[in-house]
């Protein structure tokens, strides 16, 4: 069923769809540079960025690479819950800088330490490089909190591709005891790389993120046509167990990824996992990057996250 979009997004989508049509008319092909620039333009719609007493850029150093991590705390002298953040962007776009306003809101509203990971992106670094970086950050995050007080529990959060990373790490935690996750928060997550969910058809055009672009993202990410590899990488088709972390999940009614997010929530619930699911029926994919247009929906999302974090 196709979603019914909020009137708040009518003008934004009219302009976006006009630009998409013009690009198709002029046969402009997807490139990493073009898509990264387009996503970064959404930063202009997040003008509200709360001030915090502690924001510091740190680095996890490995033999072959470094992983930048930006740390936020609203009260570094108070022991607060830790929220490890993995940004969205189709595994090939997005950055710590773009998501800075979101991380500031998370730290301020949920009263937690937020750690935003600058993981490697495709196509320069294909699957599973980004997941490997986030896994390392998850295992070693405490090394970066020497001057910030924090509680021992760990929650991971991600939107879109960041949600894919969260659910991939949760799936891996069932067999790898180095990986400890107390809770996961998923915002319109990507959990099915096979592109078989019905909403990819019903919501696949006209709502900013289009199914053709999703497919292109995945082609750059996997750089493989092996159906078994792609399905095995999809958390929706992975092992389901009551040992998976407690989950808060948000879906958007006008999102091509809507149905796979709902299916994942149902699969977790059937496996015995505690799940809290909220649907924003009039919203599109990436609505959290459109704060100035849909502020009420963004603030409600942050409030749900704050309430969930308060129970950790």
Residues annotated as catalytic are 160, 255, 285
CB atoms within 10 A of CB 172: 18
How many residues does the structure list for the chain? 312
For residue 70, what are the β-bridge partners? 57, 116
- CB contact at 8 A, 189 and 195: no
Q: DSSP strand E in the chain: where?
A: 54-61, 66-73, 80-86, 113-117, 150-159, 183-187, 246-252, 275-280
Q: What 3-state DSSP class applies to 55?
A: strand
Q: Where are the alpha helices (DSSP H) in the chain?
A: 10-25, 32-41, 100-110, 129-140, 161-173, 199-202, 211-222, 227-232, 258-271, 295-309
CA 17 vs CA 22, 111, 136, 160: distances in Å:
8, 38, 39, 21
């Amino acid at each position: 069923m196709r979603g019914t979009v909020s009137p708040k997004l009518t003008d934004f989508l009219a302009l976006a769809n006009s630009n998409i049509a013009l690009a198709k008319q002029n046969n402009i092909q997807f490139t990493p540079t073009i898509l990264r620039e387009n996503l970064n333009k959404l930063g202009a719609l997040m003008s509200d960025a709360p001030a915090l007493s502690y924001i510091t850029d740190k680095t996890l150093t490995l033999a072959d690479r470094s992983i930048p991590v930006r740390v936020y705390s609203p009260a570094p002298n108070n022991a607060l819950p830790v929220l490890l953040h993995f940004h969205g962007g189709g595994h090939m776009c997005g950055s710590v800088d773009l998501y800075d306003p979101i991380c500031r809101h998370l730290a301020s509203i949920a009263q937690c330490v937020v750690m935003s990971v600058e993981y490697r992106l495709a196509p320069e670094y294909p699957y599973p490089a980004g997941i490997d970086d986030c896994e390392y950050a998850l295992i070693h995050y405490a090394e970066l909190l020497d001057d910030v007080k924090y509680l021992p529990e760990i929650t991971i959060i991600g939107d879109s591709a960041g949600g894919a990373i969260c659910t991939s790490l949760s799936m891996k935690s069932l067999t790898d005891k180095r990986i400890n996750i107390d809770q996961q928060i998923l915002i319109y997550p990507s959990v099915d790389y096979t592109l078989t969910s019905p909403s990819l058809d019903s919501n696949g055009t006209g709502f900013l993120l289009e199914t053709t672009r999703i497919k292109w993202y995945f082609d750059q990410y996997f750089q493989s046509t092996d159906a078994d590899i792609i399905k095995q990488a999809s958390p929706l088709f992975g092992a389901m167990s009551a040992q998976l972390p407690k989950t808060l999940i948000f879906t958007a009614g006008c999102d091509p990824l809507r149905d796979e997010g709902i299916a994942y929530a149902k699969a977790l619930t059937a496996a015995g996992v505690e799940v809290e699911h909220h649907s924003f029926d009039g919203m599109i994919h990436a609505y959290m990057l459109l704060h100035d247009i849909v502020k009420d929906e963004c603030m409600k999302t942050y409030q749900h996250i704050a309430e969930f974090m308060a129970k950790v």
